[in-house]
Amino acid sequence: MSIRDKIVDGIISRLPYRLIEIDGDAYLLRFFPFRKTVRPPYDRSKWPAVYLHKFLRPDRDRELHSHPNKWSFSIILKGSYTEERRRGNEVFTRRVRLFNFLGLQDFHRIDELHGDVWTLFFVGPKVSSWGFWDRDTNEVTPHHDYLNQRRRLQ
């Protein structure tokens, strides 16, 4: 391990973090570089936030999802990923190596990770809830309804 890696590991080991799981399956580690705890000390509907993400796996859902923020963008720090992205009613695939912007109405899913993937994720104020877009029916389902439907099918 290089000196740089040891320094980075030392910094990261001191940050508060949360393991994000989907149906009990680890998805990503979310680090909070500007907080002392994982709980936001402010109203998320009014203020932006910054997270450091380490992806543990790609998205397993076939549906594409939106984010609840007015805007968000990622700076890819390490690795890259392939995502599916909605344009109108069509889906296209692209490799994300440096930067990814997501508006409130953008739907995507991370299809494949290339190497260890670390991103610095900036999000604007929370103004909505997550949604899942079904490419076959062209319908958007709110995340709570989507997760409940999925659990019933398992």
- Mean pLDDT of the 98-111 span: 96
> Mapped to the 3 state alphabet, what secondary structure does the chain carry?
CCHHHHHHHHHHCCCCEEEEEECCEEEEEEECCCCCCCCCCCCCCCCCEEEEEEECCCCCCCCEECCCECEEEEEEEEEEEEEEEEECCEEEEEEECCEEEEECCCCEEEEEEEEEEEEEEEECCECCCCEEEECCCCEEEEHHHHHHHHHHHC
pTM for the model stands at 0.88
Our count of domains for the chain comes to: 1
pLDDT at 3 over 90: no
Query: Which domain CATH number covers 138?
Result: 2.60.120.10
Q: Which domain holds residue 147?
A: 3-153
pLDDT in tens, 61-93: 899 999 999 999 999 999 999 999 999 999 999
